[in-house]
A = this chain, B = another copy of it.
Amino acid sequence: MKDGPDISRTAALIGDPGRANMLVALMSGKALTAGELAAEAGVQLQTASGHLAKLEQGGMVRRDRQGRHHYFALADDDVAVVLEALMGVAAKRGQLRTRTGPRDPELRRARVCYNHLAGDLGVALFDALTWDGCLQEDLDGLRLTAKGQAKIDALGVVVHAKGRAPLCRACQDWSERRSHLAGRLGRSLLDHIYEKGWASRVDGTRIVAFNKAGLKAFEEAFL
Q: Decide: B25 and A7 in contact? CB cutoff 8 A.
A: no
CB distance from A9 to the nearest CB of B (A): 6
A200 contacts chain B at the CB level, 8 A cutoff: no
Contact (Cβ within 8 A) A88 B92: no
A14 at interface by CB-CB < 8 Å? yes
Q: A59-B92, A178-B141 are in contact. Are A8 and B16 (CB under 8 A)?
A: yes
- Tell me if A205 counts as interface (CB < 8 A to partner B): yes
A90-B5 contact in complex given A127-B138, A172-B172, C-beta closer than 8 Å: yes
Interface bin, chain A = 35 or more
- Is the C-beta of A212 less than 8 angstroms from some C-beta in chain B? no
Q: Which residues of B contact A1 (CB under 8 A)?
A: 21, 24-25, 40, 204-205
Q: Which of A187-205 contact B (CB under 8 A)?
A: 204-205
Interface presence of A45 (CB below 8 A): no
**CB within 8 A of A24: which of B7, B14, B98?**
B7
- Residues of B contacting A177 in the complex (Cβ-Cβ under 8 angstroms): 78
Candidate in A2, A13, A58, A87 with the most chain B CB atoms within 10 angstroms: A2
Are B138 and A4 in contact, with the CB atoms below 8 A?
A: no
CA distance A96 to B10 in the complex (A): 12
Number of chain copies forming the complex: 2
* Chain B proximity of A200: nearest CB distance (Å): 17
B58 A93 Cβ-Cβ under 8 A: yes
* CB contact list, A114-154 vs B, under 8 A: 124, 126-127, 130-131, 136-139, 141
Q: Are A88 and B98 interface neighbours, CB within 8 A?
A: no
Shortest C-beta distance, A113 to chain B (Å), equals 11
Residue among B3, B86, B205, B206 making CB contact with A7, cutoff 8 Å: B86
Task: Answer yes or no: A20 CB below 8 A from chain B CBs.
Answer: yes
Distance of A185 from chain B, by nearest CB (Å): 16
